[in-house]
Amino acid sequence: MKALQDSIQSIDGMHTLSLGVDSAARTFKPRHPYQVLRMLPADATPEQQDSAIQANFQPGEIHFSQRPDTLHIPGHPVKERTKWKDVPLYYKETFFSNDTMFQAEYIGLRNGMPGIAVPYTMRADPYITLVLLGCIFLSTIMISRTRSFIGQKMKMLFRTSSYTMEKETTGETSALLVLNVMSALLTSFFMFLCAEHFISDTYMLPTQYHLIGIFFALILAYKLFKALCYCFVNPVFWSGKQNLQYLKTKTFVEGMGSTFLLLMVMIQIYLELPLLYTIFAFIFIQVVVKLLTFYKCYVIFFNQKGGYIQFFLYLCALEITPLAVLWTAALMIANVLKVIF
């Protein structure tokens, strides 16, 4: 430290440099930090170097020139400053010109600190919330208006007679169809949750609604395909009244299953339970619906001796195989549309 003080004092009251007259003509004052640093010892620390520079240099106010710019061709008037809107088009066109997020005329600075974007969740989506509220509203109205019909159908569901024809009004039939469409929509929500969790959360689609719509259309196509298969296969072996009874029973069972699917989807979206629990609940609901359907199928079509083999073949051809094709198609669509990083 003593060596530093001696160095600073030797710089302040430095030996006079002779300009050819005598040694006391003018006191030497460093004009650049480089000159100060050269006068310090070789082992001076950065703090000592900074102290020496502050002792010899004092910051002053900077005054910029206010004179006009005269760098133009002599004899020609000074042109106005070119604005961005007056720049030719070939100066504006770049590789990112067609990108909607690229705006070269705006300053790209942002206030605050950049952070991680909030990922998409169905819980925070207002449109999904409106759809679920609509499903609750519709299911409440349908069930309240058809309570007696539902009670009667539940009693008839466990009867062992091969044929019992129930009369249904147009409103009751419409209610069952609405519940079946709602079941397809809720199943598409469940497929989207599984695809987002197990496959990818980014797809080559404009929005998440497009993927949900694709799953919804796939499920409707699956239901329509099965209805066509029933219309072509069942009349070959059974009477029209038996086929109509089976279709009504199947529509009723799947429509009632939609109320449990609605509860399951809402719990998963808004309570954020582990998806594995939701998958088990979905499988349980589907197994119960399929068991009731298989039971009525056996009672209506195969309630005779020796019909077990035909019953097994019928289930494999018209129930199990189309369901396996549906889930395989959903997996293929999700894998094809996902973005691979």
* Residue 158 near residue 186 (C-beta atoms within 8 A): no
Cα 281 to Cα 186, 188, 294, 331, distances in angstroms: 13, 15, 20, 20
Measured CA to CA, the distance from residue 215 to residue 24 in angstroms comes to: 96
pLDDT confidence tier of residue 309, bands split at 50, 70 and 90: low
Q: What 3-state class would DSSP assign to 16?
A: strand
Higher confidence at residue 17 or residue 186? 186
**For 203, phi and psi rounded to 5 degrees?**
-130, 160
- Asked whether the predicted pLDDT for residue 31 surpasses 90, the reply is no
**For 118, phi and psi rounded to 5 degrees?**
-70, 125
**Range among 73-77, 106-110, 302-306, 332-336 rated most confident:** 332-336
Question: Looking at residues 27-40, what average pLDDT do you find?
Answer: 79
Long-range contacts of range 287-296, CB-CB < 8 Å, 24 or more positions apart?
A: 288/257, 289/253, 289/254, 289/257, 290/319, 292/157, 292/253, 293/249, 293/250, 293/253, 293/254, 293/319, 294/319, 296/157, 296/246, 296/249, 296/250, 296/253
Let me know the angle formed at the C-alpha of 277 by 273 and 283, rounded to the nearest 5 degrees.
135
Q: pLDDT by residue (tens digit) across 128-182?
A: 999 999 999 999 988 888 888 888 888 877 776 555 556 777 888 888 888 999 9
pLDDT confidence tier of residue 92, bands split at 50, 70 and 90: low
Measured CA to CA, the distance from residue 324 to residue 25 in angstroms comes to: 104
* Residue 120 near residue 209 (C-beta atoms within 8 A): no
Higher confidence at residue 214 or residue 169? 214
Nearest one of 128, 141, 137, 142 to 186, comparing CA atoms? 128
Residue 14 has what pLDDT? 42
pLDDT confidence tier of residue 341, bands split at 50, 70 and 90: low
Query: In sequence order, what DSSP letters do the residues of 91-159 get, joined into one string?
Result: HH--TTTT-TT--TTS----SS---PPPPP-GGG-HHHHHHHHHHHHHHHHHHHHTHHHHHHHHHHHT-
Tokens found for residue 281:
């609940």
Adjacent-strand bridge partners of 27:
16
Residue 20 has what pLDDT? 42
Measured CA to CA, the distance from residue 253 to residue 292 in angstroms comes to: 7
